[in-house]
Structures are given as C-alpha cells and as structure tokens.
Amino acid sequence: MTTILFISGTELAVVFLIALLFFGADSIPGLARSAGKAMREFKKATNDIKKEFDEHTGDIQDEVKRTRNVLEEGGRDIEKEVRKSESEINDHLNTK
C-alpha cells in the first residue's frame, strides 16, 4: 500500500470508514464541498495578501535593485582601477 502523509492506505480506509459511519453517506459530499470551498478561500486570501505586500513593497524593491546595480557598477570600476594599478606596478618592477 502507498503512504500519504505518513498514513498507509489501510489506515486511510479505516478513517474513511469511520467518517462514513459517523457522518453518513449523504453528508460526506457536502463536507467535501465545504472543505474545498474553505481551501479555495484560504488560497485566495493568501494570494491577496501576497499581492498587497508586493504592491506596498514594490518601491522598496525597485530602490534595492537600483542600489545593487550602482554598487555592482562601482565595484567593477574599482576592480578595473586595481587591475590597472597592478599592471602599472608590475610593468614598473619588470623594467628595473
């Protein structure tokens, strides 16, 4: 048997049988529909929160990206200067 969330198929069948006995065959589909609706609403609320968070932090994210680009560009400029100085020092040492 397969295992889902640490529950084997036999255990899952026993749980389903107990639910069938406890709630009855007529109410099981309604319970499943209610659980599906609840999951959909939860997912919608989660997506709404994510969307709102992204909208309110969009300016900050853009500023961080611009700052990162400026810093990376500055780092590249510094690296070029260091390499140039290193090359000049090596040339000077080799001419002696």
* pTM for the model: 0.46
64's tokens: 């961080």
* Bridge partners, residue 8, by sequence: 3
Q: Please provide the DSSP assignment of 47-90 as one string.
A: HHHHHHHHHHHHHHHHHHHHHHHHHHHHHHHHHHHHHHHHHHHH
6's tokens: 């640490």
> 14-44, pLDDT tens digit by residue?
888 888 888 888 888 888 899 899 999 999 9
Q: Which residues contact 1 (CB under 8 A, 6 or more apart)?
A: 8, 9, 10
Share of the chain above pLDDT 70, in %: 94
